[in-house]
Structure 1
Amino acid sequence: MVAKIPSSGKGLSQRSGSCGGLVAYLEKEVQGQWFSLDRADVPAGEVVATLDQNKRNLNRDADKYYQVVLAPSQAELRHIDSDPEKLRAYTRAAMEQYAANFGKGIEGRDLVYFAKVEHERTTNHQDRAVQVGDVAKGQAKAGPQTHIHVIVSRTENLARYNERKLAGELDRKNPVHLSPLTNHKNTQRGVVTGGFERKQYSERVEQAFDQAFGYERPLVETFRYAHTMQHGTPEQCAALRAQAIQEQQAAQQRQAVQQAAEQQPPQQAVTQQRAVAPAPATEQAVTPAVERPAPRPERRSRGIGM
């Protein structure tokens, strides 16, 4: 599972203005079919209007929205059969983690976001195959490529904020602004408190997928493994590689045992079961012996004297 929060790219150059450019770009594969926390099939025009209106106390040049990209691996997609409904449910769980990761006590319903599931991806200049000339830029990638794009407002949900203020649930004078690109990480002092730990967010969304769909993730598929291989010391990389090899060998042994059990002839399995199973107790073994009375001696008759 890859969770990215890009700072640049198509439709992201105007984050200080309307999100209309990004929404228009994400309409390229299929029009409409946007969804949010509690809605489905939201039209693109409503997405733009809702996100653009959800802003307060932000400078003209400040970011107004951000993009989150959730890209399951092909193994993960096969595990859930690329089910769009499961992907939408997972997206909502990932955005709950997004809200919690700011450390400001907010939930998914305190966000304003819209998401869309896409099923195609094309190669770009960042792909190794394009760099070495094996494939051309813009070529469709093979295999399952389903992923999710999320556009989320920088400002918390103003409608909910105002409701909570009227109900006396909040004593904050202003709504919070939420930037996942901040350099602050769980700060406790200063003007900015909280922050956003991007590494922690990647681990959280990975765990959310595993828990939601019962996915047994190999070590080599974890964010921790990928991050260590890229940023860790040689000693850390070597230790993690050794752990991954041990895990792979154990998995191969389990698979071999399972295959052997499945390929075993049924008659042989029955014979082995009979050989292992204890013999049932016979009636003679469990029925107590009955003592028979000893035979009485035969009496001889006497003759009648003449």
Structure 2
Amino acid sequence: MYIAITKQHHGENFKGSVKDFVNYLLKENEGKTPEEQDHFFDQNNDQISVEDVISEIDNNTSKLSKKDPKFYSVVVSPSQRELLAINNDPGKLRQYVRELMKDYAASFYRDKNISVDDIKYYAKIERERTFKGGDKEIRENQPYATKILKLKNDIGKIEEGKSIGNIKRIQKEIDRLEKDAPHKINGKRIVRDMKKPGMQNHVHIIVSHKDKTNSFKLSPLSQHKEAETILNGEKQKQGFNRDKFYRAAEKTFDTTFGYKRNFVETYKARNLLDKNPKDFFILLAGLPTTEKQAAFKMLYKLGVHVPNIPTNKAQLAYKAFMKLKRGVETAINSGSIGV
């Protein structure tokens, strides 16, 4: 499960409306009948109008300064294996989001217990993802793309009479490069903004910075996990424990749907890979045989070759280790086994 939390950006301040972001999330509804469209939902309602989403978020901003975001974006991206476990069912994904938002509320550190009833949020399922510049497929296709673009420019100059050359020969070289590019879908070279194959359901959640009563701030990007400050001479608790939230989000999915999570899919694995990668590989090597085989199989499917990993740190050459670490890190953060 991969979850990303970001704040609203409008240049150097946050005074803009949520309208632009809402309209962006409507892109997949274009050309569909109302019955085919995915609608915004919250904790209790499956279908909320666009106008209500915009109005509710924009008007829930009492005493926020221009330096305060009006809302946060939470993107919930289940892996291919997780989507398979719920049969890619949008209804089950909505069910999960509603349980997840209970975990979100419980991760705030406040004098009063924060519940999901305090959170103003609106979520929408998206069915598609597209390839971006950072994707492995785009990066590894890029040398071919660069050469193809240059050759096409050469053809353009010849056609305009600005250069001399053999267009047929250049086109033949373009065709060869297209064929040799390592990553293709249905015979076509993968390029930016091309739709990704397979199950791609994910959820965008718009969460108001203020609670439902428009009385106090709730920031999931607080720099504190659990802190106490003095305000008007009184101690006040503040903070949001993102580690707690991510762990709970994973556990909630597993418990709700009976999902058997492999080590390399866990939040613990990603943290360990970031902070102590050698221990990550030692733990990976020490897994029970069946689980280890499953972990290696997942990584292999994503193009990451995992050799017999030595348990003695001194046995692992630094360059080889870092190359393997980067490969596994890319795999874990991909849309396939993201945690």
TM norm structure 1: 0.71
Question: Do 2:38 and 2:126's aligned partners in 1 also have CA atoms closer than 8 Å?
Answer: no
Does the Cα contact within 8 Å between 1:102 and 1:196 map onto a contact in 2?
A: yes
Deviation at 1:94, TM superposition (A): 0.8
Asked if 1 retains the 8 angstrom alpha-carbon contact of 2:86 and 2:257, the reply is yes
For 1:35, the aligned partner's letter is F
Give the alignment's Cα RMSD to 1 decimal: 2.4
Cα deviation, 1:126-182, whole Å, max 9, x if unaligned, reads 212212224311111111110000001000001xx7xxxxxxxxxxxxx22011112
C-alpha distance in 2, partners of 1:13/1:37?
32
Are the equivalent residues in 1 in contact too, given 2:8–2:72 (CA < 8 A)?
no
Contact 1:123–1:139 (Cα < 8 Å) also in 2:
yes
Distance 1:199 1:65, change over 3 A: same
C-alpha distance in 1 between matches for 2:261 and 2:208: 32
CA displacement 1:38-73 (0-9 Å, x = unmatched)? 112111111101111112121133111000011111
Identify the residue that residue 69 of structure 1 maps to in structure 2. 75
Identity over aligned residues, as a percent?
A: 33
Question: Aligned equivalents of 1:7 and 1:78: distance in 2?
Answer: 30
Identify which range, 18-27 or 189-198, moves more after superposition.
189-198
Note closer, same or farther for the CA distance 1:152–1:7 as it changes in structure 2 (3 Å cut). closer
Structure 1 or 2: more strand by fraction: 2
The residue aligned with 1:80 is 86
Q: Which residue of 2 aligns with 1:302?
A: none
**Is residue 177 from structure 1 mapped to residue 217 from structure 2 by the alignment?**
yes
Partners of 1:69 and 1:244 lie apart in 2 by 31
1:237 paired with 2:303, answer no
Q: Tell whether 2:66 aligns with 1:60.
A: yes
Which has the bigger relative contact order, CA under 8 A and spacing at least 6?
A: 2
Equivalenced residues, count: 235
1:118 corresponding residue in structure 2 = 126
Q: Does 1:211 align with 2:255?
A: yes
Where do residues 180-191 of structure 1 align in structure 2 (5 Å cutoff)? Answer: 180-190=220-230
Once the two structures are superposed, what CA deviation does each residue of 1:98-135 show, in whole Å capped at 9, x if it has no partner? 11111221111111100001110001122122122243
The DSSP-based 3-state class of the residue aligned with 2:125 is strand
- Out of 117, 137, 142, the residue aligned to residue 192 of structure 2 is 137
Distance verdict in 2 for CA 1:238–1:58, change over 3 Å: same
Equivalents in 1 of 2:18, 2:38: separation in Å? Answer: 15
Q: Deviations over 1:158-208 (max 9, x none)?
A: 1xx7xxxxxxxxxxxxx2201111211111344573312223211111111
d(CA) in 2 for partners of 1:117, 1:178: 23
Do the aligned partners of residues 46 and 118 (structure 1) sit closer, same or farther apart at CA in structure 2, a change above 3 Å counting? same
Asked if the contact 2:220–2:240 (Cα under 8 Å) also holds between the matched residues in 1, the reply is yes
Gaps of at least 5 residues in structure 1 are 162-174, 253-306
Distance in 1 of aligned mates of 2:253 and 2:12: 31
Q: Distance in 2 between matches of 1:88 and 1:227?
A: 27
Cα distance in 2, alignment partners of residues 211 and 15 from structure 1? 38
Give the direction of change, closer, same or farther, for the CA distance of 1:83–1:61 in structure 2 (3 Å limit): same
Q: Secondary structure at the match of 2:286?
A: helix
Which residue, 203, 225, 231 being the options, matches 1:148? 203
Do residues 51 (structure 1) and 63 (structure 2) align?
A: no
> Unmatched 5+ residue regions in structure 2?
30-36, 142-182, 184-189, 296-339
Contact 1:32 1:42 in 2 (8 A): no
Quote the Cα distance in structure 2 between the aligned partners of 1:32 and 1:51.
19
Query: Which has the larger displacement, 189-198 or 85-94?
Result: 189-198
Q: Which moved more, 1:48-57 or 1:188-197?
A: 188-197
**Which of these two proteins has the greater Rg computed from alpha carbons?**
1
Question: 1:2 matched to which residue of 2?
Answer: 2
Indicate the residue corresponding to 1:20 in structure 2.
Answer: 19
> 1:230 Cα deviation (Å)?
2.6
Matches of 1:49 and 1:86, distance apart in 2: 28
Q: Which residue of 1 aligns with 2:326?
A: none
Counterpart amino acid of residue 142 in structure 1 = P
Give the Cα–Cα distance (whole angstroms) in 1 for the partners of residues 207 and 265 of structure 2.
27
Give the match for residue 149 of structure 2: none
Which consecutive segments of 4 or more residues in structure 1 shift more than 4 A?
11-15, 249-252
User: Residues 244 and 7 of structure 1: is their aligned pair in 2 closer, same or farther, counting only changes over 3 Å?
Assistant: farther
What residue in structure 1 maps to residue 47 of structure 2? Answer: 41
Code of the aligned partner of 1:6: T
Q: Give the AA of the match of 1:26.
A: L
CA contact (8 A) 2:124 2:203 kept: yes
